[in-house]
């Protein structure tokens, strides 16, 4: 079970890093205006609009993998054995021991610190 958790966690981390990289590489919506007027958009590797489709679909696939890995980690992390009870059931109950109290300090005969009587 520990191997499965390690594999799922590794896949989740790799998909998250790949998703971050793909999102940073993608152009914003305003970058399409320059390609419409012929500023080198057709000279790219994927063509004028091919890279947007490729990168957005790859990002969607990686997001799905990340989401599935997150659900799997939540499921495996929530599994408990049927015999497991409360955490407090396993704790030992220790009653505090009563020790003899120290004798009270004697009040001085001079009356200092005493409440005056009326």
Over the chain (118 residues), the average pLDDT of each successive run of 10 is: 90 96 83 58 54 84 96 87 65 72 62 64
* Burial class of residue 10, CB neighbours in 10 A (0-12, 13-18, 19+): exposed
* Burial class of residue 112, CB neighbours in 10 A (0-12, 13-18, 19+): exposed
Would you state the pLDDT for residue 40? Answer: 52
Would you state the pLDDT for residue 106? Answer: 62
Would you state the pLDDT for residue 28? Answer: 75
Would you state the pLDDT for residue 45? Answer: 57
For tokens 């012929």, the residue is: 38
Would you state the pLDDT for residue 13? Answer: 96
CA–CA gap between residue 112 and residue 94 (Å, rounded): 43
What DSSP string describes 70-100?
Answer: HHHHHHHHT---TT---TTTSSPP-PPPP-P
Go through the chain and tell me how many residues it has: 118
pTM for the model stands at: 0.53
């Amino acid at each position: 079970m520990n191997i499965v958790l390690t594999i799922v966690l590794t896949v989740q981390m790799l998909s998250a890093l790949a998703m971050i990289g793909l999102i940073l590489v993608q152009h914003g919506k305003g970058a399409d205006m320059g390609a419409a007027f012929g500023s080198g958009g057709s000279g790219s590797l994927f063509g004028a609009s091919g890279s947007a489709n490729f990168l957005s679909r790859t990002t969607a696939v990686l997001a799905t993998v990340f989401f599935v890995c997150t659900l799997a980690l939540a499921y495996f992390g929530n599994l408990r054995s049927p015999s497991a009870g409360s955490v407090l059931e396993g704790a030992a109950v220790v009653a505090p021991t009563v020790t003899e109290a120290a004798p009270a300090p004697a009040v001085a005969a001079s009356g200092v610190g005493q409440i005056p009587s009326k």
